Structure 1
Amino acid sequence: MKPVALITGAGRRFGYELANDLLDNGYTVFAHYNSSKGGVEKLEQQGAIGLQADFSDTRAIDNMIDQVIAQTGQLDLLVNNASCFFDNHTVDASDDALAAVYQVHAIAPYKLITGLQALLANANDGLVINITDIYSERPSTNYIAYCGAKAALANMTLAFAKALAPDIRVNAIQPGPILFLPEHDNQHRQQVLAETPLKVEGGLQPMIDTVKFFRDNPFLTGESIKVDGGRALNI
């Protein structure tokens, strides 16, 4: 039977490239998106199963869980990658934005892990990978809510690793300067790279390789790996 993966936030950047890689390696991929429909449509053309859900709505999360359960009896890999990146000004001006930060980064992963636990346990080596952040340990004062929500996800990684063993493994990846956003100007990019010991933008392949590392080492659970070129050393 083909292995099955669910990737949240699969319509762009890391989620999209990971979904492509898994499809190329024979996985059945459930590709979640909120608004990045174009990327998921491309994945669907390669055989992925697209799932739209706005994680700021708890009912949408529950509905997506039901859709996955209706279509598969096992889940080998769950990657909680969906994200919303709001600064203090945004969440201070909008209670909806503040709620979304915690819904997307903490509540949705919690509900997905618990709601899909039976499918993960049905796999030979069910694996959850939570995408946290290097700032979950050393928070930025400009993104207090975001860092707090990512810290909650990091803590849940440890708790679920204990609670779900030995049937399901739960680990985390802490990305750093993997891929700059289009709105990042050259000054910002140079400042970030100056603070990064390896002095380069990492790209997405190191993240994909770390997913495979966790997948292929069955003796790892409750671990978190920084994929950041050493930047966490300097923040």
Structure 2
Amino acid sequence: MSDLSNWVGIITGSATGIGAATARMLAARGAKVIVNYTKSLQDAEETAAACQAAGGEAILCQADVSQDDDCKKLVQTALHAWGRIDGLVNNAGTTKIVPHHDLEGLSGDDFQRIYAVNVVGPYQMCRAVAPTMKAQGGGSIVNISSIAGVVGVGSSIAYAASKGALNTMTLSLARVLGPEIRINAVCPGFVQGRWQQQWLGDEYDERIKQEEATTPLGRAGSAEDMAEVAVMFLTSCHNVTGEVLLSDSGRHLSFAPAKAR
């Protein structure tokens, strides 16, 4: 693997899950990373410690990406420490768990809150890093989206709609951020971990078995699986931008052809 000791990245929502796995994977190649959290300080500290133990550098930064000033703070934290920004992973996200048939279960405020983090936040982060990346001659951005935004499934209609918007925004930004900046999106399917355990409860183990039994690859995805794709986009794939890539063990093949890609 190539050395990333001179590489600097910001990973939003990196206290746990895919964000944490991405930070650790980059750090294992020597990268310097901003570990971002909103409330999970202890988890963020553990992630930062793991990054340092892996051979990289890590700085904690509390910030809410729905707030533009906080997005600017993340950028300034990286610049103050290391003077450059080579990569951004827009991983921070939120949802409200509401069965899709329950149309009364989502309010306009729910949509506003979910979009503020899942769509507006990534836009503000892209806008905040763009001047630095362009001035230094290049950079790469990865949006962590979801299969929900492609096939309309997931924890709620509002969540699926927000990820669909994030995919579309990835295409729009790819056109305007080039040639210096590449931007791509990763769409995970089922991902093992704490969040799915909390959502599914007693059904969690059965869901893993279902994924293993019914997906073409016979696997239930992990945070590390998703981080692997994100790091690929960040550090290689120099001729790729505006791509929306599904990482779901082939789960999407069981749906009708997905024109939203």
The normalised TM-score by structure 1 is 0.88
Counterpart of 2:197 in 1: which secondary structure?
coil
Aligned 8 A contact 2:148 2:154 in 1: no
Task: State the secondary structure of the residue aligned to 2:215.
Answer: coil
Post-superposition Cα deviations, 1:3-47, rounded to whole Å, max 9, x if no partner, equal: 100001100011111111211211110111112212221233323
- Superposed counterparts of 1:1-235, under 5 Å: 2-45=6-49, 46=52, 47-88=57-98, 92=105, 96-140=109-153, 143-180=156-193, 181-183=196-198, 184=200, 185=203, 186-214=205-233, 215-235=235-255
Q: Is the 8 Å Cα contact of residues 69 and 116 (structure 1) preserved in structure 2?
A: no
How big is the shift at 1:195?
Answer: 4.0
CA contact (8 A) 2:84 2:132 kept: yes
Aligned residues: 235
Give yes or no for contact 2:75–2:129 (8 Å, CA) kept in 1. Answer: yes
State the SS of the aligned residue for 2:65: coil
- Per-residue deviation, residues 95-118 of structure 1 (Å, max 9, x unmatched): 554322101110000000011111
Percent identical among aligned pairs is 29
Q: Give the aligned residue type for 2:197.
A: P
SS at match of 1:120: helix
With structure 2 as the length reference, what TM-score do the two structures score?
0.80
**8 A contact 1:126–1:169 mirrored in 2:** yes
After TM superposition, give the deviation of residue 65 of structure 1 in Å. Answer: 4.0
Give per-residue Cα distances to partners, 1:40-67, cap 9 Å, x unaligned.
2123332311111233444433443444
**Aligned CA-pair RMSD:** 2.4
Deviates more, 1:74-83 or 1:92-101: 92-101
Pairwise CA distance, 1:124:
4.6
Q: Tell me, in whole angstroms, the C-alpha distance in 1 between the residues paired with 2:175 and 2:62.
A: 31
Per-residue Cα deviation, 1:154-180 (whole angstroms, up to 9, x for no partner): 011001100011010011111112324
Contact persistence 2:37–2:62 (CA under 8 A): yes
Deviates more, 1:13-22 or 1:70-79: 70-79
